[in-house]
Amino acid sequence: MAKPAASIFSCPECGYSSGRWFGRCPGCGEFGTLVEETKPGPRSAGVAARPLLRLVDVEVEEAERIPTGVPELDRVLGGGLVPASLVLVGGEPGVGKSTLLLSALAAISNERRALLVTGEESVAQVKLRAARLGGAERVEILAETELETVCATLERERPEVCVIDSVQTLYAAELGSAPGSVAQVREAAARLLRVAKENRVAVFLVGHVTKDGSVAGPRVLEHLVDCVLQFEGDRYRAHRILRAAKNRFGSTNELGVFEMTGAGLVGVPDPSELFGRSEAGEIGAAVACALEGTRPIMLEIQALVAPTDLAMPRRVATGVDPKRLAMIVAVLARHADLPLGTADVFVNVAGGVRIDEPGADLAIALAIASASRGVPVKDGLAAFGELGLTGRLRGATQAERRVEECAKLGFATVLGPAGTPPPAKLALAEAETVREAVRIGLDAPQPEGE
Ligand SMILES: Nc1ncnc2c1ncn2[C@@H]1O[C@H](COP(=O)(O)OP(=O)(O)OP(=O)(O)O)[C@@H](O)[C@H]1O
Ligand SMILES: [Mg+2]
């Protein structure tokens, strides 16, 4: 007797799947995320093995990258779009994914065939946006959500670049589950991957990330695609940040900064100018010279230290890893004698930028020290360096480039770890320990007894 089609339960958050339902996903520990999917049918038997190749015999034609016409996007992709690659662009609703990709398509369409498959907006809506952005007259458009039709069209038309907006709206009828479910999203990506590689179409997949995870997040396809780009930023502020979370053809540390304007997203070629300015004499602010990929970027870091009665004082970070903040606070309390044990500490990075780089530690420490002591950081000072648990400052990578960036923005002094090569255009203050750095960096003599 044939077995009835079994179901599998998978988690849209982490991609875990199992034959039975769990209230809590064993993969990621989230509650109530497992959803039911129908199991794919059995494989056909009698498959023949294929001959193998040696790598030396593999022929590749060195394909040129396709410039997207958006320099910031090119940079994040590692120097342009690789032909026949699959790029996933994730971001929260309204962050500007469609706008970014339509401007890229507009520029690409001047030299190549560029197709926009829209499942989310009507052709008329896209036309309105295109009119606002300008230059998108030659972009071809298809309003379709049926996966089969989209793939067939790609096979026939073979555009060089195609944007699928969004992968969650695509629907394969034979699967039976709702559009946007894990099975559908996975199927759509797998089939598009095959069509893209066979027909040499470079595909951008737009994927929504919702905070509550109610729609299958693009997490399940991260391993399928060649690049995963994240488009972040506060919907309510004008600045947007594009970064690569995965890139098979380039570095993942690159950062693109955009400003959302009425005429679309405008690249910000010099983000340091925007985020690295602080008011002279302001208490609790310090400027970090962080490195994002190959690019040094100056960021203003703000801190607030407020007395608290809580047994577990709060450490709240926006743009900084909370564990890193906890470590910096502990090092400051232990090695620079700051009374942070009875205070809430809040830290914020300007412009909604997120820093993961340890070179920004010293500036975070300075901002907290300034807020705690009520003394501003010295005027015209920028800092970089990694904080060790022993209170010693560790050297940061690419010190010369950081110092150069500080000089370019007109900083007078740069505070860095001992051993930083002396710069030509500005003063260098070296510190061995965090205590010394706080003494040098703050604009006042230390209180008595230190
Ligand atoms: N006329 C305008 N002037 C300035 N900004 C605008 C204008 N129209 C739209 N925007 C900006 O564009 C954003 C929407 O962009 P877009 O539709 O590209 O986002 P999206 O990420 O594709 O959103 P969705 O998830 O809904 O598809 C809005 O949040 C708004 O900030
Ligand atoms: Mg959109």
Residue 359: phi and psi, rounded to 5, are -60, -15
Q: Whose CA is nearest to atom 5 of ligand 1?
A: 262
Spatial contact of 409 and 387, defined as CB atoms under 8 Å apart: no
Closest among 88, 68, 90, 95 to 260, alpha carbons compared? 95
> Residue 122 pLDDT more than 90?
yes
Its pTM stands at 0.75
Cβ < 5 A residues, ion ligand 2: 98
Centre of ligand 1 to C-alpha 133, Å, is: 11
pLDDT in tens, 219-237: 678 888 899 998 887 656 6
Return the residue matching tokens 């190549």.
Answer: 112
E strands, 99-233, in order:
114-118, 140-143, 161-165, 202-208, 227-232
* Nearest ligand to residue 100 Cα: 1
E strands, 147-223, in order:
161-165, 202-208
Closest among 414, 449, 276 to 349, alpha carbons compared? 276
The letter for the amino acid at 244 is A
Separation in Å, CA 405 to CA 271, 297, 335, 386, 392: 11, 7, 30, 18, 24
Centre of ligand 1 to C-alpha 90, Å, is: 14
* Nearest ligand to residue 97 Cα: 1
Asked which of 182-196, 259-273, 336-350, 363-377 is least confident by mean pLDDT, the reply is: 259-273
Alpha-carbon gap, residue 199 to 440, rounded angstroms: 61
Q: Whose CA is nearest to atom 25 of ligand 1?
A: 93
Centre of ligand 1 to C-alpha 209, Å, is: 15
| Residue-level pLDDT at 363 | 95
Q: Whose CA is nearest to atom 28 of ligand 1?
A: 94
Residues lining ligand 1, Cβ inside 6 A? 91, 93-99, 120, 208, 235, 260, 262
Centre of ligand 1 to C-alpha 261, Å, is: 10
> Residue 3 pLDDT more than 70?
no
Average pLDDT in the 300-327 region?
A: 93
Q: In what order do the strands lie in the sheet with 295-307?
A: 315-318, 343-349, 295-307, 285-292, 381-383, 413-417, 427-431
Residue 389: CB atoms within 10 Å: 10
* Nearest ligand to residue 99 Cα: 1
Residues with Cβ within 8 Å of 293's Cβ and at least 6 positions away in sequence, in order, are: 251, 252, 253, 254, 255
